Structure 1
Amino acid sequence: MAGERLNAAEAACELLAAAGVRRCYTVPGESFLGLLLALADDPRIEVVSTRHESGAAFMADAEARLTGGIAVALASRAPGSSNLAIGVQTAHEDGTPLLAILGQVPVGRIGSGALQEIDLAAFYAPITKWAVTARTSAELPALLARALRVAREGRPGPVAVAVPEDLWQGVAGPLDARGVQPRQASAADPSALDAAAAALAAARQPVMIAGGGAAHAREQLVALAERAGLGVLTAFRRQNVFPDAHPNCIGQLVIATPPQLLAPALEADLLLLAGTRLDDLTGQQGRLPQTGQRVLSIGPDSALPPDAEGLGEDVAETLQALLDRLPDRTSGRDWSDAHGAYHAAAQPPPSAGDGAGVDPARAVAALHRAIGGAAIVTNDAGNFSAFLHRHWRFEPGGALLAPANGAMGYAVPAAVAAKLADPAARVVAVVGDGGALMTGQELETAVRCGADILVVVFQNGLYGTIAMHEARAAGRVEPATEIGLPDFGRWATALGAHGWTVRTESQLEAALQAAQAMPGPALVAVRTDPDLIAPGVRLAELLASPPSRGER
Structure 2
Amino acid sequence: MAVPARTGADLVIECLAAEGVELVAGVPGTTIMDLIDSLARQDAIRFISTRHEQVAGFLADGVSRSGAGLGVCMASRGPGAANLAIAVQNAYDESVPLLALIGQVPADVVERRAFEEMDVLATFRPMTKWAVEVHDVRRVPELLQRAVRAATSGRPGPVVVSLPLNVLQATAAATPAPRRRVHPPAAAPAAIEEAWSVLATAQRPAVLLGGGAGGDPGTYLRLAASMNAPLLTTWLRQGLVPHADPVYLGALGYGAHEVSERVIAEADVLLALGCRFSEFTTKRWTLISPDTRLVHVDIDPEELGRVYLPDVGIVADAQLAARALLDAAPPGLPDGSARLAKLRTAFDEASSLTDEAPGSGVGSSAVVRGLRELAGRAGILLVQDAPSFGPWTQRHLRLPRPRTFFGSAGGAMAWGLPAGMGIALARPDHRVVTVSGDGSFWMVAQDFETCVRERIPVVNVVMNNFSYGNTRDRQRVAHDGRYLGVFYGNPDFAGFARSLGGHGARVEADEDLSPALENALAQDLPAIIDVVQDRMAGLPPGLTPPVAR
TM-score range, shorter chain: over 0.9
Query: Match of 2:219?
Result: 220
Query: Match of 2:48?
Result: 48
The whole-number CA distance in structure 2 between the counterparts of 1:318 and 1:106 is: 47
Query: Match of 1:229?
Result: 228
Query: Match of 1:311?
Result: 314
The whole-number CA distance in structure 2 between the counterparts of 1:226 and 1:514 is: 41
Query: Match of 2:376?
Result: 372
Query: Match of 2:20?
Result: 20
The whole-number CA distance in structure 2 between the counterparts of 1:251 and 1:417 is: 27
- Of 411, 415, 418, the residue aligned with 1:413 is 418
User: % of aligned pairs identical?
Assistant: 34
Match status 1:119 vs 2:119: yes
**1:438-453 mapped onto 2 (5 Å cutoff):** 438-453=443-458
Give the drift of 1:468. 0.8
Deviates more, 1:128-137 or 1:505-514: 505-514
Give the drift of 1:52. 1.1
Query: Match of 2:57?
Result: 57
The whole-number CA distance in structure 2 between the counterparts of 1:299 and 1:538 is: 32
In the alignment, is the contact (CA less than 8 A) between 2:53 and 2:75 conserved in 1?
yes
In the alignment, is the contact (CA less than 8 A) between 1:467 and 1:477 conserved in 2?
no
Match status 1:332 vs 2:331: no
The whole-number CA distance in structure 1 between the counterparts of 2:125 and 2:188 is: 33
Amino acid aligned to 1:5: A
The whole-number CA distance in structure 2 between the counterparts of 1:2 and 1:423 is: 40
**1:394-413 mapped onto 2 (5 Å cutoff):** 394-396=399-401, 398-413=403-418
What secondary structure is seen at the aligned counterpart in 2 of 1:72?
strand
Amino acid aligned to 1:188: A
In the alignment, is the contact (CA less than 8 A) between 2:255 and 2:394 conserved in 1?
no
Query: Match of 1:323?
Result: 326
Give the drift of 1:176. 5.3
What secondary structure is seen at the aligned counterpart in 1 of 2:284?
coil
Give the drift of 1:371. 5.6
Amino acid aligned to 1:254: G
Query: Match of 1:520?
Result: 525
Deviates more, 1:98-107 or 1:392-401: 392-401
Amino acid aligned to 1:155: R
Amino acid aligned to 1:314: D
Match status 1:291 vs 2:290: yes
Deviates more, 1:287-296 or 1:72-81: 287-296
Deviates more, 1:126-135 or 1:38-47: 38-47
Give the drift of 1:443. 1.9
**Which whole-Å deviations, capped at 9, do the CAs of 1:311-331 have from their partners, x for residues lacking one?**
242222111111111147897
Amino acid aligned to 2:256: T
The whole-number CA distance in structure 2 between the counterparts of 1:267 and 1:161 is: 46
The whole-number CA distance in structure 1 between the counterparts of 2:537 and 2:410 is: 24
Q: 1:282 to 1:242 in 2, by over 3 A?
A: same
**Which whole-Å deviations, capped at 9, do the CAs of 1:346-391 have from their partners, x for residues lacking one?**
32224766x4122112212123225636521112212112212222
Q: 1:340 to 1:439 in 2, by over 3 A?
A: farther
Amino acid aligned to 1:238: R
In the alignment, is the contact (CA less than 8 A) between 2:65 and 2:423 conserved in 1?
no
**Which whole-Å deviations, capped at 9, do the CAs of 1:486-534 have from their partners, x for residues lacking one?**
2111011112211011112132232222222222111111112333321
Q: 1:357 to 1:477 in 2, by over 3 A?
A: farther
Give the drift of 1:291. 0.2
**Which whole-Å deviations, capped at 9, do the CAs of 1:130-173 have from their partners, x for residues lacking one?**
11222222222222122111112211000101111221121247
Give the drift of 1:72. 0.6
Query: Match of 1:545?
Result: none
Deviates more, 1:65-74 or 1:263-272: 65-74
Give the drift of 1:479. 3.0
Give the drift of 1:87. 0.7
Amino acid aligned to 1:348: L
Deviates more, 1:410-419 or 1:330-339: 330-339
Amino acid aligned to 1:25: A
Q: 1:477 to 1:507 in 2, by over 3 A?
A: farther
**Which whole-Å deviations, capped at 9, do the CAs of 1:241-281 have from their partners, x for residues lacking one?**
02111110011012143322200011111111112210111
**Which whole-Å deviations, capped at 9, do the CAs of 1:435-491 have from their partners, x for residues lacking one?**
010112222222222221211000111101101111111102423010213211101
**Which whole-Å deviations, capped at 9, do the CAs of 1:38-73 have from their partners, x for residues lacking one?**
122222211111121111111111111111632111
What secondary structure is seen at the aligned counterpart in 1 of 2:152?
coil
**1:385-396 mapped onto 2 (5 Å cutoff):** 385-396=390-401
Query: Match of 2:269?
Result: 270
Query: Match of 1:501?
Result: 506
Which stretches in structure 1 are left out of the alignment for 5+ residues? 543-547
The whole-number CA distance in structure 1 between the counterparts of 2:490 and 2:346 is: 37
In the alignment, is the contact (CA less than 8 A) between 1:247 and 1:339 conserved in 2?
yes
Give the drift of 1:407. 0.8
**1:67-78 mapped onto 2 (5 Å cutoff):** 67=67, 69-78=69-78
In the alignment, is the contact (CA less than 8 A) between 2:232 and 2:260 conserved in 1?
no
In the alignment, is the contact (CA less than 8 A) between 1:206 and 1:268 conserved in 2?
yes
The whole-number CA distance in structure 1 between the counterparts of 2:163 and 2:404 is: 35
The whole-number CA distance in structure 1 between the counterparts of 2:258 and 2:463 is: 26
The whole-number CA distance in structure 1 between the counterparts of 2:400 and 2:127 is: 34
The whole-number CA distance in structure 2 between the counterparts of 1:412 and 1:242 is: 24
What secondary structure is seen at the aligned counterpart in 2 of 1:496?
coil
Query: Match of 1:128?
Result: 128
TM-score by length of 1: 0.92
What secondary structure is seen at the aligned counterpart in 2 of 1:271?
strand
Q: 1:442 to 1:47 in 2, by over 3 A?
A: same
What secondary structure is seen at the aligned counterpart in 2 of 1:138?
helix
What secondary structure is seen at the aligned counterpart in 1 of 2:6?
coil
The whole-number CA distance in structure 1 between the counterparts of 2:268 and 2:433 is: 39
Query: Match of 2:141?
Result: 141
In the alignment, is the contact (CA less than 8 A) between 1:133 and 1:161 conserved in 2?
yes
**Which whole-Å deviations, capped at 9, do the CAs of 1:170-211 have from their partners, x for residues lacking one?**
124754523x53433233221111111232222112111112
The whole-number CA distance in structure 2 between the counterparts of 1:55 and 1:163 is: 21
The whole-number CA distance in structure 1 between the counterparts of 2:444 and 2:331 is: 51
**1:103-252 mapped onto 2 (5 Å cutoff):** 103-172=103-172, 174-175=174-175, 177-178=177-178, 181-252=180-251
- Of 427, 433, 437, the residue aligned with 1:432 is 437
In the alignment, is the contact (CA less than 8 A) between 2:241 and 2:401 conserved in 1?
no
The whole-number CA distance in structure 1 between the counterparts of 2:504 and 2:328 is: 55
What secondary structure is seen at the aligned counterpart in 2 of 1:212?
coil
Query: Match of 1:454?
Result: 459
The whole-number CA distance in structure 2 between the counterparts of 1:390 and 1:351 is: 14
What secondary structure is seen at the aligned counterpart in 2 of 1:31?
helix
Query: Match of 1:464?
Result: 469
What secondary structure is seen at the aligned counterpart in 1 of 2:421?
helix
